[in-house]
Structure 1
Amino acid sequence: MDQPAAAMDSLLQALQVNIIPNQEYLLQGSVLDTAVQRVLHRLKGLCDNVESAPEQFSDYEACFSLGSPVTDQMQAQQQPPLFLRVIRKTSEPVDAGTPFQLRYIGNPELGDAKRPTLVRASFDIACSPTICDFLTEMGCQLKFEYTIRGYLFRKGRMKISVSKIFKINQEPISQSYLVELSVLAPSGHDSVAEDMRIFAEKLKPLVLLEKIDYKRLAQMGN
């Protein structure tokens, strides 16, 4: 068996036994600029490595969509476009060798309404700097791009980010910070959702982390 085939077989076996983190458990909220320092202070006390400063990050993100070729409106609603995100670190130092990352995030699962977190498929793939050209050649369209800067905390397997989103011209899109609590885990590890709910309770009333209903937001936007 050649090396690529062996690697593919290993990947398929890993997926079958659920050892690859392919699902993201997520809670989201926001906090005004004027109150973000209190949230950072609370997180520093709750998270690991409390004696060191939180990790800072700065990323460029571009979102591409690959739409369905169907022209019927009803079929188009049943087959939503595929969204892919290209991410590149912009923290210093940045050079031609800075790696790119291709991220696929699926639609939220329609599981138990009582589940405390949103759950969606998530895959990250390292890629070359030509990824944007490749996606364009594949027929993908650039929907939007932005930079995101903020702080990253960790509590066990949980990741907590407090970040601000900027337009490409460095103008902030709002006067608030996005707060996200997430865990990447293999399929079926729903017990992490309860751990996240308990941690989110400790951040109240500074920030309310919720299971966002994206379909409802889309309907409100229409």
Structure 2
Amino acid sequence: MDQGGMQLGMNLKSIVPHQEYLLQGSILDTAQEVLLHRLRGLCDNAEMPPETFHDHEMVFLIKGTSPQPSQPVLFRARKSLDHPESPWHLRYLSQVEDKLRHTLSRSCIDVGCSDNVVQFLNEMGFRQDHEFVVRGFLFRKGRMKVTVSKIFREQIQEDMKNFSEQLKPLVQLEKTDHRRLQTM
């Protein structure tokens, strides 16, 4: 568990297609049970336990090719770890459009896609920026979707780095550019 607390997100799909309104905040781990109890009372289906999720998300970006500096285009590819048979979920989110509202507002496009979405994004020129695992609870209140989640980072890279430090000076471990090896 990397983060010091949980995240609370509220998301409302508007009547306008492909528009998202968002509020986001942080809570301490010690407040999780109280928050979940309160949300259960406020949201629909109070008699049912909240829906849970455990997902792996990869964030890809591509930089603009115009001569003017621009914001990179981001895509988020998400896969359920609880239900590996379910399709990947690909999401595009624009930059925040209206900063004067009480909530953040941005355009979004959500689509289900096949298992080769990562390969497809790489072939389109996107590069993976970062990835994480998120676990949490999902509530619904009318058209609103409320999530309480915690982000877990992939620790294998740090573990490998620490392990390689133990082998120095006998072995110098480093990343290998496999494209260079193929041309030799």
TM-score greater than 0.5 by the shorter chain: yes
Q: Map 1:101-120; keep pairs closer than 5 Å.
A: 101-110=89-98, 113=100, 115-120=101-106
Q: Which has the higher helix share?
A: 1
Kindly provide the CA deviation profile for residues 69-127 of structure 1, in whole angstroms up to 9, marking residues without a partner as x: 35x6xx21xx2110001011111x42xx431111000100136x2x2111000111111
Aligned pair 1:88/2:79, yes or no?
yes
Q: Indicate conservation of the 8 Å contact 2:90/2:113, yes or no.
A: yes
Kindly provide the CA deviation profile for residues 196-218 of structure 1, in whole angstroms up to 9, marking residues without a partner as x: xxxxxxxxxxxxxxxxxxxxxxx
Kindly provide the CA deviation profile for residues 20-75 of structure 1, in whole angstroms up to 9, marking residues without a partner as x: 630000011110001111111110111111111011011110000011235x6xx2
SS of corresponding position for 2:140: strand
Aligned pair 1:42/2:33, yes or no?
no
Structure with more contact order per residue of length (Cα contacts < 8 Å, sep ≥ 6):
1
Q: Which has the higher strand share?
A: 2
SS of corresponding position for 1:49: coil
What is the root-mean-square deviation of aligned Cα atoms in Å? 1.8
Aligned match for 2:149, one of 151, 160, 163? 163
Matches of 1:48 and 1:21, distance apart in 2? 23
SS of corresponding position for 1:109: coil
Residue of structure 1 in register with 2:17 after alignment: 21
- TM-score, with normalisation over the residues of structure 2? 0.73
Matches of 2:47 and 2:62, distance apart in 1? 45
Q: Percent identity?
A: 46
Residue of structure 1 in register with 2:170 after alignment: none
> How many residues are treated as equivalent by the alignment?
143
Which of structure 1's runs of 4+ aligned residues deviate more than 4 A?
Answer: none
Residue of structure 1 in register with 2:159 after alignment: none
Aligned match for 2:132, one of 146, 152, 165? 146
The unaligned stretches of length 5 or more in structure 2 are 1-13, 157-184
Compare CA radii of gyration and give the structure with the larger one. Answer: 2
